[in-house]
């Protein structure tokens, strides 16, 4: 009788903790659905820009960035989702390795960005310069630049004269554009009581000096304003960094625990 009970207990016993297994499954499934949503938004935004033929904006196109991020997330979370559900060690190892690689890459970028701040600023400056150059060529890029300038209350990368990089806003005498020497309306300071946005508020601003321009726009560049914002919101930046890191660390730890338990289960059967 005791022997039968021991055999039944052995048959029902499993090294794999169902709580860890299903938590990892639902954790991965949630981000898997989220990745599909990101890809769908990116594809929709790209399809809507059927007239976009500017190849130089490909790497800074918000739609393309969304698609790439979504596809990478889809691959990683798919491995975690199916690996946990089917107790597949190969998929779980792929999930753990990929997540570790992404986490270490993010960590390396953060550390290098901190210790090499000047080089990081120059690299971001090149990115923003491309965005300014192609401001009128890509609607998503235009909306992104306008949003950044409105939120940070800034204009250009170094200052408002950076908009001369753009073909339409270029402030040379040879430029026939009606927007010559202008800046986008997102650089303008809001006027109290204004119900309709004056999109021509930045016309001719580049011909003015800093003090004159300060009366109608935000003349300071977004680079300086971003540094000021980070320094004054260190707690928020830390919370965002922690919020980004914790799910990745949790996924790595849980997948490693599950892999170990599955291997113990296989050994016990053999």
The pTM assigned to this predicted structure is 0.79
Q: Which DSSP string do the residues of the chain spell out, in sequence order?
A: -HHHHHHHHHHH--SS-HHHHHHHHHHHHHHHHHHHHHHHHHHHHHHH-TT---GGGGGG-HHHHHHHHHHHHHHHHHHHHHHHHHT-HHHHHHHHHHHHHHHHHHHHHHHHHHHTHHHHHHHHHHHHHHHHHTTTT-HHHHHHHHHHHHHHT--SSSBGGGGGGSTTT--STT---TTTT---GGGBPPPTT--S--TTTTTTGGGS-HHHHTTTB--B-HHHHHHHHHHHTHHHHHHHHHHHHHHHHHHHHHHHHHHHHHHHHHHHH-
What per-residue confidence (pLDDT) applies to 58? 60
What per-residue confidence (pLDDT) applies to 11? 52
Q: What is the pLDDT of residues 197-228, one digit of tens each?
A: 888 999 999 999 999 999 999 999 999 999 89
Q: What is the pLDDT of residues 38-50, one digit of tens each?
A: 999 988 888 876 5
- Inform me whether the pLDDT recorded for 15 exceeds 80: no
Q: What is the pLDDT of residues 58-91, one digit of tens each?
A: 666 788 888 999 999 999 999 999 999 888 999 9
> Average pLDDT for residues 122-138, to the nearest whole number?
89
Q: What is the pLDDT of residues 138-188, one digit of tens each?
A: 888 899 999 999 999 999 999 999 999 999 999 999 999 999 999 999 999
What per-residue confidence (pLDDT) applies to 258? 92
Q: For the ranges 98-102, 204-208, 237-241, which has the lowest average pLDDT? A: 237-241
What per-residue confidence (pLDDT) applies to 7? 41
């Amino acid at each position: 009788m005791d022997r039968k009970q021991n055999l039944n207990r052995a048959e029902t016993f499993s090294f794999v903790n169902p709580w860890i297994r299903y938590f990892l499954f639902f954790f991965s499934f949630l981000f898997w659905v989220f990745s599909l949503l990101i890809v769908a938004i990116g594809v929709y935004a790209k399809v809507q820009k059927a007239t976009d033929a500017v190849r130089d904006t490909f790497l800074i196109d918000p739609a393309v960035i969304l698609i790439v991020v979504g596809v990478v997330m889809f691959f990683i979370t798919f491995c975690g989702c199916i690996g946990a559900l089917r107790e597949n060690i190969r998929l779980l190892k792929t999930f753990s390795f990929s997540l570790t690689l992404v986490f270490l890459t993010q960590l390396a970028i953060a550390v290098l960005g901190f210790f090499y701040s000047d080089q990081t600023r120059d690299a971001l400056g090149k990115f923003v310069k491309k965005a300014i150059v192609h401001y009128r060529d890509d609607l998503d890029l235009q909306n992104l630049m306008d949003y950044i300038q409105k939120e940070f209350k800034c204009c250009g990368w170094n200052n408002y004269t950076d908009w001369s990089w753009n073909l339409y806003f270029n402030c040379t005498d040879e430029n026939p554009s009606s927007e010559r020497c202008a800046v986008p309306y997102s650089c303008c300071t809001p006027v109290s009581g204004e119900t309709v946005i004056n999109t021509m508020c930045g016309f001719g601003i580049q011909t003015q000096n800093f003090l004159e321009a300060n009366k109608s726009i935000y003349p300071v560049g977004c680079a300086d304003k971003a540094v000021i914002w980070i320094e004054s919101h260190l707690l928020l930046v830390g919370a965002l960094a922690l919020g980004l890191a914790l799910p990745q660390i949790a996924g790595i730890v849980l997948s490693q625990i599950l892999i170990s338990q599955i291997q113990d289960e296989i050994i016990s059967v053999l």
